[in-house]
C-alpha cells in the first residue's frame, strides 16, 4: 500500500502531471478544432464519401502501423541515445521502402485493387494511400524520438497544426465541390502533417546524429530484433482486428462503413484527448519504474485514473447520441447515433487498456502480445464474416467481440506489470 501511495504521489507532483497536461492541452485543442468542424464536414460530404474515407483510412492504417517494422516503438525504450538514434534511422529507411512499394502497387493496378476492395469508385484516389503511409509513418517515428527527449510541448503543437491543416483542406476543397478528394486529403494532413516540424527539430540533435553509421545501425538491429520479428505481426494483427472488419463492412454495406467511421471518431475522442497523452508519458516513465521495481503500482494507478476519468463521459455520449446526432450532424447521420450506443462497452474498455499496452514491451512479452492480438483479430474478423453470411448486424457483432477482446487485454496487461526486471526478455 505504501508503494502505491508513493507512486500516486509521484504522478500528481511535478514531471508526470506536467507532461500529461502539455500533451493533453495540444491534443484537446487539436481534437476540438476537428470536432467543431465535423458538423460542417458532414453537411458538405455525403455518407458515401465517408465510406470511401473508411476504406482509405483502413488501408493507410494497415500498412503504416508496420511500415517502420515497429523499430520506432523501441526508440523511447532503448538503453542509450546512440541506440535510439540508429533505431530512428532504421525506422525511416524501412518506411521509405514500404511506402515505395505501396506507390508502385497503386500506380500499376489501381482498378484491380479497387475491385478487390469492393469499392471501384476509390480507384482514382488510391494514389493518396502511399502519401498517407509516408506521412503517418514519419510522424510516428519522429514523435517517438520526441517522446524519448520528453519534448511534449513540441508534440502538442504538431497536433494543433495537423488539425488546422486537415480541417482547412476538408472545408476548402469540399466547398469547391472537390469531393471526396478533400475529405481524404484532409485526413492525411490531420494524421501526419506534424512529422515535418518534428523532423526539423532534429537539428538540435546534430551531435547524436553523427552516431548514425551502417555499423551502428546493424548493431542496433541485432540488439532490438524482437521488435520487427514479433511486434510487426503483432501490430498487423492488432490493426487488422479493427480495419479488416471495416473493409468488409464497406464492401457489403454501402454507406454503413461511413456511419461506423463517424461513430468511432466521436467515441475515440476521449481516448485521443487524454488516453493518448497518458500513453506517451507512461511509455517514457515505465522503463525506469520497471527497473526500480515499481511498475505494478505505477500501472495500477494509471488504470484507476483511466476508469474514473473516461468511463462516465463515454456512457453519457452513448445515451445521448441517438437523440442528438441527427440534430448535430444532419438527418442523414441518424444511423451513426444508433451505432454509438453499441460501441460504448468496447470504447470504455479500450480507453482503459490501450494507454498501458506498452507494458508488454517494457517487460519483454512481445510473443505474448502477438498471441493476444492474433486472438483479437480472429474473433473480430470472424464475427463480422459470420454476421455478413448470416444476415445479422455486422456492426453489432464487431462491437461485442471487440469488448470481449479488450476485457482480456485489461487483465493480461495488469498481470504483466507484476513482472520483475530479472524476468525481462532481451529486446
DSSP letters for 192-234:
HTTHHHHHHGGGGGHHHHTT--HHHHHHHHHHTTHIIIIIHHH
In terms of Cα–Cα distance, which of 393, 326, 33 is closest to 25? 33
**What stretches in the chain show pLDDT beneath 70?**
1-17, 20, 270-274, 276-277, 420-427
Residue in the block written with cell 533505431: 87
Supply the pLDDT for residue 31: 84
**DSSP code, position 294:** -
Residue in the block written with cell 520497471: 290
In terms of Cα–Cα distance, which of 183, 247, 238, 163 is closest to 49? 183
Supply the pLDDT for residue 4: 40
Supply the pLDDT for residue 260: 96
**How far is the C-alpha of 339 from the C-alpha of 299, rounded, in Å?**
32
Supply the pLDDT for residue 207: 86
Supply the pLDDT for residue 272: 63
**How far is the C-alpha of 381 from the C-alpha of 239, rounded, in Å?**
11
Q: What is the pLDDT of residues 297-331, one digit of tens each?
A: 999 988 988 888 878 888 999 999 999 999 999 99
In terms of Cα–Cα distance, which of 372, 374, 401 is closest to 385? 401
Supply the pLDDT for residue 1: 43
**How far is the C-alpha of 391 from the C-alpha of 421, rounded, in Å?**
50
Query: What does residue 254 show for φ and ψ, rounded to 5 degrees?
Result: 55, -115
Residue-level length of the chain: 427
Report the largest interatomic distance among the alpha carbons of the chain, rounded to a whole angstrom. Answer: 63
Supply the pLDDT for residue 310: 79
CA 389 from chain centre, in angstroms, equals 30
pTM score: 0.83
Supply the pLDDT for residue 271: 66
Residues 6+ apart with CB under 8 A from 196: none
Q: What sign does the dihedral 384-243-57-128 (CA atoms) show?
A: negative
Amino acid at each position: 500500500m505504501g508503494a502505491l501511495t508513493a507512486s500516486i504521489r509521484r504522478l500528481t507532483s511535478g514531471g508526470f502531471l506536467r507532461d500529461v497536461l502539455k500533451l493533453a492541452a495540444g491534443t484537446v485543442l487539436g481534437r476540438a478544432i476537428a470536432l467543431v468542424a465535423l458538423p460542417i464536414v458532414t453537411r458538405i460530404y455525403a455518407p458515401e464519401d465517408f465510406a470511401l474515407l473508411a476504406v482509405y483510412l483502413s488501408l493507410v492504417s494497415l500498412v503504416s502501423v508496420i511500415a517502420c517494422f515497429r523499430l520506432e516503438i523501441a526508440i523511447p525504450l532503448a538503453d542509450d541515445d546512440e541506440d535510439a538514434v540508429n533505431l530512428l534511422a532504421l525506422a525511416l529507411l524501412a518506411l521509405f521502402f514500404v511506402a515505395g512499394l505501396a506507390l508502385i502497387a497503386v500506380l500499376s493496378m489501381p482498378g484491380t485493387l479497387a475491385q478487390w476492395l469492393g469499392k471501384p469508385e476509390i480507384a482514382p484516389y488510391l494514389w493518396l494511400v502511399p502519401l498517407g503511409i509516408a506521412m503517418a509513418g514519419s510522424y510516428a517515428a519522429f514523435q517517438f524520438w520526441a517522446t524519448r527527449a520528453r519534448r511534449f510541448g513540441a508534440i502538442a503543437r504538431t497536433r494543433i497544426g495537423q488539425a488546422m491543416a486537415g480541417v482547412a483542406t476538408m472545408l476548402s476543397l469540399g466547398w469547391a465541390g472537390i469531393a471526396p478528394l478533400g475529405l481524404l486529403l484532409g485526413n492525411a494532413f490531420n494524421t501526419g502533417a506534424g512529422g515535418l516540424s518534428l523532423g526539423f527539430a532534429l537539428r538540435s540533435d546534430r551531435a547524436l546524429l553523427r552516431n548514425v553509421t551502417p555499423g551502428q545501425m546493424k548493431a542496433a538491429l541485432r540488439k532490438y530484433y524482437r521488435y520487427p520479428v514479433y511486434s510487426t505481426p503483432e501490430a498487423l494483427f492488432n490493426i487488422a482486428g479493427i480495419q479488416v472488419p471495416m473493409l468488409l463492412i464497406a464492401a457489403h454495406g454501402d454507406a454503413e462503413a461511413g456511419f461506423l467511421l463517424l461513430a468511432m471518431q466521436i467515441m475515440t475522442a476521449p481516448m485521443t484527448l487524454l488516453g493518448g497523452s497518458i500513453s506517451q508519458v507512461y511509455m517514457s516513465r515505465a522503463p525506469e519504474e520497471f527497473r526500480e521495481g515499481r511498475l505494478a503500482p505505477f500501472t495500477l494507478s494509471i488504470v484507476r485514473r483511466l476508469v474514473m476519468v473516461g468511463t462516465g463521459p463515454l456512457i453519457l455520449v452513448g445515451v445521448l447520441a441517438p437523440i442528438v446526432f441527427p440534430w448535430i450532424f444532419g438527418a442523414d447521420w441518424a444511423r451513426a447515433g444508433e451505432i454509438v450506443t453499441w460501441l460504448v462497452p468496447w470504447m470504455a474498455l479500450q480507453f482503459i487498456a490501450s494507454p498501458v499496452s506498452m507494458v508488454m514491451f517494457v517487460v519483454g512479452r512481445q510473443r505474448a502480445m502477438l498471441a493476444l492480438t492474433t486472438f483479437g483479430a480472429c474473433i473480430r474478423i470472424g464475427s463480422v464474416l459470420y454476421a455478413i453470411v448470416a444476415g445479422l448486424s455486422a456492426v453489432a457483432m464487431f462491437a461485442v467481440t471487440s469488448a470481449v477482446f479488450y476485457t482480456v487485454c485489461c487483465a493480461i496487461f495488469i498481470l504483466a506489470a507484476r513482472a520483475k526486471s530479472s524476468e525481462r526478455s532481451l529486446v
